[in-house]
A and B are shown apart, each in its own frame.
Chain A
Amino acid sequence: MSDTVVRERDDAAPAPRGDALVEVRDLVKHFPLRRGILFDRTVGAVRAVDGVSFDVLRGETLGLVGESGCGKSTTARMILRLIDPTSGSIRLDGQEIATVSGARLKELRRGMQMIFQDPYSSLNPRKTVGSIIGDPFQIHGLLKDDAQRKRAVKDLMDLVGLNPEHYNRYPHEFSGGQRQRIGVARALALKPKLIVADEPVSALDVSIQAQIINLLRDLQKELGLTLVFIAHDLSVVRHMCDRVAVMYLGKIVELASSDQLYDHPRMPYTGALMSAVPVADPQLAKVKRRQVLAGDVPSPTNPPAACRFHTRCWKAQAVCATQEPQLEPKEGGNLAACHFPLTDDEVRERVPSARV
């Protein structure tokens, strides 16, 4: 483990744990649908993210889960300002960043980094590992001295468990797991305040996946990183995250600590997600009543009125189609947007791993 990187962090003012690093309020992203060749007109919008609010606390890992198309990646990319929000507010360290641009934006990006899903397409095949990890320094005009930069890069390689002697190798000379380590090192280079990891382990084999999960957890403990962790594998999310937000069709439908969420999900959608996870235990699998959701996720261009889950929800009643439920505390402390949250008995029957 490299001393330099860790020590430099300790020198900095200790970040107070527990307060919000990122505050997201009423964040919206609508992608316009256009028609016509000569006369471009907007005929509708994909409501990818439709008013989400949450905080990311300093030093925590916040998980974003949901099915494809629920808006989790769009939300994360807006926080990083890789795409511009349609409306809403994002505050980083108390400063509004939803609308900044130009030099201020570049400055801002130093403090936020991303780890990508595919370790094959996210690394430039024609660059050496040394220059891939060193690029962030160059882009931001830091460590202009070659020897200094090389040293910093080698420290980073050491930190993420790569052999610093492989500085001059190319990405194709590394395995999938090692490539993902390169991606992690690159994200750590500028000592960001916030790291967004979008499905960082889903492209990896099981035994390698565990190596990267352990690496991220160790780094977070050591460096006090703040992480937004996006994944569709609910057991990986539980293992990694302190708090988890469940998204459905552009909305957050449940938000709770990992323990609360997995011990007693309240929103029927969360319950269905957990019930759908295959359990690697034949005994539990036998007693489980798999809650299968019928049909597909409705189109985000024309989402169902009021509670968006009511078309697929087995507990839905008339009110669910007319009155939108608010995200509010339910039994057990979970925040959930639901008129008829799951009872403990219903949870026990469907989610064998629940501890209600």
Chain B
Amino acid sequence: MALLEVRDLAVHFESEDGLVRAVDGISYTVERGRTLGIVGESGSGKSVSSLTVMGLTRARNARISGSVVFDGKELLTASDDDMRGIRGDDIAMIFQDPLSSLHPFYRVGDQIVEAIRAHRDVSKAQARDRAVEMLGLVGIPEPRKRAAAYPHEFSGGMRQRAMIAMALANDPKLLIADEPTTALDVTVQAQILELIERLQQEFDTAVVVITHDLGVVAEMADDIAVMYAGRIIEHAPTDTIFREPEHPYTWGLLRSIPKLDSPRDEALTPIDGRPPSLINLPSGCSFHPRCPYVRPAHRRVEPALEPVEAGGDHRVACLLAHATRRRLWHELRAGRSPEEARSLVEPEEVA
């Protein structure tokens, strides 16, 4: 049985302007010791979906439906007390900005001690030893001394490491990392990625990493879910996403980043337009206003996330035929622009 199983999760927020469909029916599973990468742009719902798993979106105006089963337990209907017991213990989270996630008035060590004692019946001294051990484990020099420092006395990379130490102090079964390296320099990012990988191997932790950086998921994730406008539009093993992506949005993402190993003068192909409003989602396929291969029917028919090949682990939500998508990607890979690819392949109208 999977460690985490999310089914048809929808998170809508009522607002003055209307219903915000932040997450609109997503399903995924994460096995022990595996890493799932959730990729998407701002507003795609990647953070909201993970916060909901943690029970952190239970606001008065939130409408949450679907199911989140963790280790055999349904989390969406769990009481707030139960969730408090699970958060920071079985499920831990690392946030993007370590400065605003650590309390500025308390010493780093004390904050980790508190996180341990909230879940374990241990003495202060025992908890302190564990905190120092964790700080040492994440590579903070002189951990016993540095445990007495305040967050502002740490550099950005050290703060992020301290937060990882806190997150892992209770041996969580699942670690959710929301843009864990976005605020960091590349050299520090490399240190943090290495650290998460090493700790994951040691403790067999399952990891969900949320990021907009395709490089980070290429190096870390076993599987990738690409989100757009509150839905998963493509889900596949990491190699497959990069080698044979099937969704025009994924193609767009892959072709808008400059790569160190492609010719320097190659122009980037941005995705036209911008992400839609989550209050007023486009009809049919929500990517259709930005899709270069759109056909009239795509404005009416909503695509479902379906396997590319029956029984396969590569799923995509696109109305184009598989053969058409293959040919389009082939043309794009050969350096053709989306317009050229479209005129060569001539996407068919759906029935």
> Is chain B found bound to chain A in the same assembly?
yes
Query: Which of A235, A239, A258, A279 lies at the interface centre, i.e. has the most chain B CB atoms within 10 A of its CB?
Result: A239
Over the window 189-221 of chain B, the binary record of Cβ atoms lying under 8 Å from chain A Cβ atoms (1 yes, 0 no) is 111011000000000000000001111101100
Measured CB to CB, the closest approach of chain A to B22, in angstroms, equals 17
Is the CB–CB distance between B258 and A236 below 8 Å? yes
Answer yes or no: B141 CB below 8 A from chain A CBs. yes
Q: Are A285 and B190 in contact (CB under 8 A)?
A: no
A contact residues, range: 35 or more
Per-residue B-contact encoding for A222-250, CB less than 8 Å = 1, 0 else: 00000000001011101100000000000
Are the CB atoms of A211 and B191 closer together than 8 Å? Answer: no
A292 touches B190 (CB 8 A): yes
In the bound complex, residues from chain B placing their C-beta under 8 Å from that of A313 are none
Q: Complex Cα distance A113/B213, Å?
A: 30
Q: Is A208 positioned at the interface, with any CB of B under 8 Å from its CB?
A: yes
Q: Are A283 and B239 in contact (CB under 8 A)?
A: yes
Contact of B187 among A207, A235, A272 (CB under 8 A): A272
Complex CA gap A292/B187 in Å reads 7
The answer to whether B268 touches A280, judged by C-beta atoms less than 8 angstroms apart, is no
Task: Report which of A67, A214, A278, A281 forms a contact with B261, defined as CB distance below 8 A.
Answer: A281
B267 interface residue (CB < 8 Å to A): yes
- Find A280's partner among B41, B42, B257 (CB 8 Å cutoff): B257
User: Which of chain A's residues have a CB closer than 8 A to the CB of B274?
Assistant: 175, 177, 207-208
- Interface-located stretch among B130-138, B153-161, B314-322: B153-161
Q: Which of B212, B218, B254, B257 contacts A285 (CB 8 A)?
A: B218
Choice from B155, B213, B242, B270 contacting A281 with Cβ under 8 Å: B242
A210 to B219, CA, bound (A): 22
User: Is A277 at the interface (CB under 8 A from chain B)?
Assistant: yes
A290 within 8 A of B: yes
Interface bracket on B: 35 or more
In the complex the two chains form, is A278's CB within 8 Å of B216's CB?
yes
Whether A258 lies near B264 (C-beta < 8 A) is yes
Q: Once bound together, how far apart are the Cα atoms of A26 and B23, in whole Å?
A: 55
Contacts of B191 in A (CB 8 A): 292-293
Contact of B268 among A214, A234, A259 (CB under 8 A): A214
Interface assignment of B186: CB less than 8 Å from any CB of chain A: yes
Assuming the A-B contacts A206-B253, A293-B191, are A278 and B260 also in contact, with contact meaning beta carbons closer than 8 angstroms in the complex? no
Q: Residue on A with the closest CB to B240?
A: A282
Query: How far apart sit A238 and B266, CA to CA, in the bound complex (Å)?
Result: 11
Give CA–CA (A275, B194) in the complex, Å: 13
Give min CB distance, B99 to chain A, whole Å: 13
A293 CA to B191 CA, complexed, in Å: 7
**Complex Cα–Cα for A284 and B214 (A):** 13
A68→B156 contact, CB < 8 A: yes
Q: Does A274 contact B (CB under 8 A)?
A: yes
A327 at the interface (CB under 8 A from B): no
Judged by a CB distance under 8 angstroms, whether A296 is at the interface is yes
Contact A292 to B194, CB < 8 A, known contacts A205-B212, A281-B261: yes
Query: Given A214-B268, A290-B194, is A296 in contact with B256 using a C-beta cutoff of 8 Å?
Result: no
Q: Contact at A213–B190, with CB atoms within 8 Å?
A: no
B238: interface (CB < 8 Å):
yes
* A192-222 to B contact mask, C-beta < 8 Å, 1/0: 0000000000000111111101100100000
CB-based contact A279/B218 at 8 Å: yes
Q: Which of A213, A272, A282, A351 contacts B258 (CB 8 A)?
A: A213
Once A235-B258, A296-B157 are accepted as A-B contacts, the answer to whether A276 and B218 lie under 8 Å apart by CB is no
CA distance A208 to B212 in the complex (A): 12
Q: Is B349 an interface residue, CB under 8 A from the partner?
A: no
Given A239-B264, A279-B219, is A214 in contact with B190 using a C-beta cutoff of 8 Å? no
**Contact indicator A67/B187 (Cβ below 8 Å):** yes
Complex formed: what's the CA distance from A278 to B184 in Å? 13
In the bound complex, what is the Cα–Cα distance between A175 and B275 (angstroms)? 10
For B256, give its contact among A210, A275, A292, A293 (CB under 8 Å): A210
Task: For A67, list chain B residues within 8 Å (CB).
Answer: 185-188
Q: Please, which residue of chain A has its CB at the minimum distance from the CB of B181? A: A278
Query: A213: nearest residue on chain B (CB-CB)?
Result: B268
Cβ of A16 under 8 Å from chain B: no
Interface string of A74-95 (1 = CB under 8 A from B): 0000000000000000000000
Ordered by A's residue number, 28 sampled pairs between the chains whose C-beta atoms are within 8 Å are: A67-B187, A67-B188, A205-B42, A205-B212, A206-B41, A206-B253, A207-B256, A208-B270, A209-B257, A210-B257, A210-B270, A214-B268, A214-B270, A234-B186, A235-B260, A238-B260, A258-B264, A272-B187, A273-B186, A277-B260, A278-B219, A280-B254, A280-B259, A282-B218, A282-B238, A292-B187, A293-B190, A351-B260
* Residues of A in contact with B (beta carbons under 8 Å apart): 67-68, 175, 177, 205-211, 213-214, 217, 232, 234-236, 238-239, 258-259, 262, 272-285, 290-296, 351-353
